[in-house]
Structure 1
Amino acid sequence: MQILIQIDTPDFDAWKTAWDDDYEDRMQAGLSQMQIWRDADKGSTVLVLLDANDRKKAEAWLSKERGFGGAMTATFLRTA
């Protein structure tokens, strides 16, 4: 299963540094980064596609991330 996350950030560079620093936490949650996209016009919207091998761990990680207060949505996906 995959998770598509949309994050709105006023400072992409700071967000990307924090994202890269969170690598170990994502791995422990069973998440693997597949792709990151950045809005070509505004630059403040980031989309991240993650592969998730444990939904409960992924949901716990998402809850922790949402606790930091930034605007973030997440959708769990599966191949149709």
Structure 2
Amino acid sequence: MTQQLLVRYDSFDRAAFDGDAENRSNAGVSLLQLWRGDGSHWALFGINDADKARDWLDKTAALGHGPSEHHFLETA
């Protein structure tokens, strides 16, 4: 099964998001799709390791530019 991570950003800083690309890559998190609508941005990521992805989420939250909510998903 493929694991993915869906996140919502209420406050989105494109420069910070782009600057975090290497950290995402090191955590095995790769951007699949980015949407915006209704004042929020949504991103769908492919993940290789859920624990590393959780660590990345914790670090981005501590730095103040993490997502407002997130959901781990698996293909059905």
- TM-score between the two structures when normalised by the length of structure 1: 0.83
Q: State the partner residue of 2:42.
A: 47
Q: How far 1:61 moved relative to its partner?
A: 0.3
SS in 1 for 2:56: helix
In structure 1, the partner of 2:4 is 2
What's the RMSD between the two structures over aligned residues?
A: 1.5
- Cα 1:24/1:63, change in 2 over 3 Å: same
Structure 1 stretches of 4+ moved >4 Å: none
Aligned twin of 1:74: 70
For 1:26 and 1:47, how far apart are their aligned partners in 2?
Answer: 16
Any stretches of 5+ residues in structure 1 without a counterpart? none
Equivalent pairs, count: 73
Q: Residues 59 and 77 of structure 1: is their aligned pair in 2 closer, same or farther, counting only changes over 3 Å?
A: same
How high is the TM-score relative to the length of structure 2?
0.88
Structure 2 runs not aligned, ≥5 long: none
Task: Report % sequence identity.
Answer: 38
Q: Return closer, same or farther for 1:55/1:71 CA change in 2, 3 Å cut-off.
A: closer
C-alpha displacement at 1:70, in angstroms?
Answer: 5.9
